[in-house]
Amino acid sequence: MRIDDQKVSQSAAFVGDAELVDAELDDSHGSQFRLAGDLAVWLVILIELVTFGLFFMVFAFKRAFQVDLFNRMQSTLDLHSGVVNTILLITSSWFVARCVAAVRKGQSQAGARWLALAIVCGAAFLVMKTVEFKAKFDLGVNLSTNDFYMLYFTLAGFHMLHVVVGVIILAMLLVMVRRGKVAANNMHALETGAAFWHMVDLLWIILFPLVYVMR
Amino acid sequence: MRAGVGVLKAIQSNDLVWFGLILATLITFWFGESGLSDSARGVAVLVIFGLAYAKAAGVILQFMELKHAPWLWRLLLLGWLTVVVLGILLAWLIGDLRA
């Protein structure tokens, strides 16, 4: 492969230009290599992942030097609430994936129903998390209690903010799907919102075992 | 019989991934609830984060549709996941050696 060809291939691989990438990368797979959603939002997703990744590292390494404290404090968290929240986010992510598949097939009504279910799960997560935080605050536990709770409230609170933003985005998408502004021939907004929502789910998948289960 | 075949045809990859994610979540929960995460220690941490890795990879490849995306994006997200999980395991090991 000539150098010019290589440059084209690398550039196409990054931006997801389906035609260029098809020519270079498509194999017997038969489908297009394409980044689903807006490139700018995917860059935001990358930044979010790096930020949370650093938070996860800080939590894990702080724990390494205060194992007893972190284990004792972890046992004061509600594991049942943690697992229900995990199931809610995973299921919500599944509903969004189902919505995208339905709208692509031209089934906007079904897509709207999947999206509404996803919003219900996201809202339920927010209610449960609020109850969990309130129970801690009522006991006088807060950010300044100790290192564990400082990191717990920071991580879970920051993640919760993303869930709030995600639910608002899903609600806006629901209106767009119902009004026909998002359809099989115009998937950009829906794919972009879906990518953000899946990121929120992805972060919780790491947060749950790290904060609630690891001993 | 025909209805059964219809249901099977309606099942998407998304549904299978969701089922796997729920199963892995329940196993992780069981490790915490039964006290195995305490007693099995190193093995438990490997299982818990092995499952977390598989779950996150499922979300990245299937739900985020990166299995159909340009390779660089797959590499970036799976690379992020690998670094984060290995970092957590390293931190756990340091904590265990110090204890």
How close does chain B come to A186, measured CA to CA in Å?
Answer: 17
The pLDDT score that the predictor gives to residue A32 is: 64
Q: Which residue has tokens 């790096």? A: A50
Just give the CATH number of A36-213. Answer: 1.20.120.80
Q: Which domain holds residue B52?
A: 3-98
Distance of alpha carbon A144 from alpha carbon A153, whole angstroms = 10
Nearest to A79 among B26, B32, B65 (CB): B32
| B63 phi/psi in degrees, rounded to 5 | -70, -45
Distance of alpha carbon A12 from alpha carbon A19, whole angstroms = 9
Domain positions in chain A: 1-34, 36-213
Distance of alpha carbon A17 from alpha carbon A4, whole angstroms = 17
Residues A139 and A132: beta-carbon distance below 8 Å: no
Q: State which amino acid sits at residue B45.
A: V
Q: What part of A 152-171 touches B (C-beta under 8 Å)?
A: none
Could you give the percent of chain A with pLDDT greater than 70?
Answer: 85
Minimum Cα–Cα distance from A200: chain B residue: B59
| A166 phi/psi in degrees, rounded to 5 | -60, -45
Whether B77 and A214 lie within 8 Å, measured CB to CB? no
Nearest to B73 among A35, A87, A209 (CB): A35
The pLDDT score that the predictor gives to residue B5 is: 66
Q: How confident is the model over A4-25, as pLDDT tens digits? A: 445 444 444 444 444 333 333 3
Looking at the structure of chain B, the number of domains it has is: 1
Q: How confident is the model over B63-76, as pLDDT tens digits? A: 999 999 999 999 99
Within 8 A of B18 by CB-CB distance, chain A residues are 90-91, 93-94
Q: State which amino acid sits at residue A77.
A: L
Minimum Cα–Cα distance from A195: chain B residue: B64
Mean pLDDT on B7-26: 89
Distance of alpha carbon B15 from alpha carbon B89, whole angstroms = 30
Name the more confident of B8 and A30: B8
How close does chain B come to A195, measured CA to CA in Å?
Answer: 6
Whether A97 and B63 lie within 8 Å, measured CB to CB? yes
B25 touches chain A (CB under 8 A): yes
Residues B15 and A94: beta-carbon distance below 8 Å: yes
Distance of alpha carbon B52 from alpha carbon A34, whole angstroms = 26
Interface test with A, best of B66, B73, B74 (most A CBs within 10 A): B73
Distance of alpha carbon B12 from alpha carbon B82, whole angstroms = 27
Q: How confident is the model over A156-210, as pLDDT tens digits? A: 999 999 999 999 999 999 999 999 999 999 999 999 999 999 999 999 999 999 9
Residues A56 and B88: beta-carbon distance below 8 Å: yes
And the tokens for A174? Answer: 């629901």
Within 8 A of A201 by CB-CB distance, chain B residues are 59, 63
Whether B95 and A64 lie within 8 Å, measured CB to CB? yes
Please, what sign has the CA dihedral across residues B48, B53, B57, B63? positive
**Measured CA distances, B58 to A1, A8, A70, A97, A143 (Å):** 33, 30, 29, 12, 33
So what's the ipTM on this one? 0.92
